[in-house]
């Protein structure tokens, strides 16, 4: 089986954000939701982060706001979400999973 450029990009994306790779390949079907649940269960997250991750699938800025408040990451996420839903979701998941530099307001 020969790998194309798109397959390579999908492979790299799947290493960092498995649900995004499944979404790009299968869209919003049952495999996507199973992957989201399994990815969340495999992480060491607080209840608040889990809720924010689920919300960020539909409204990325709201998920960032719940964990970071009205900080720089929230405004960056607004811009990325306006430019495209996928960049907003990727940034939201990153912002939610990583530890904040400073406490939220």
pLDDT by 10s per residue, the chain, length 105: 676 777 788 778 777 778 888 888 888 888 988 888 888 778 777 888 888 988 998 999 999 999 999 999 999 999 999 999 999 999 999 999 886 655 555
CA distances for 61 relative to 4, 15, 47, 93, angstroms: 33, 24, 18, 10
For the chain, the structural domain boundaries read: 1-42, 46-105
Q: Which of 44, 45, 49 is nearest to 67 (CA)?
A: 49
């Amino acid at each position: 089986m020969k790998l194309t450029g798109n397959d390579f990009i999908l492979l790299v994306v799947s290493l960092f954000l498995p649900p995004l790779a499944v979404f790009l390949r299968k869209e919003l079907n049952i495999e996507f939701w199973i992957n989201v649940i399994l990815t969340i269960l495999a992480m060491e997250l607080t209840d608040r982060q889990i809720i924010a991750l689920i919300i960020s699938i539909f409204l990325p800025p709201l998920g960032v706001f719940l964990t970071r408040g009205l900080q720089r990451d929230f405004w960056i996420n607004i811009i990325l979400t306006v430019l495209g839903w996928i960049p907003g979701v990727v940034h939201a998941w990153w912002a939610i999973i990583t530890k904040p530099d400073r406490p939220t307001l």
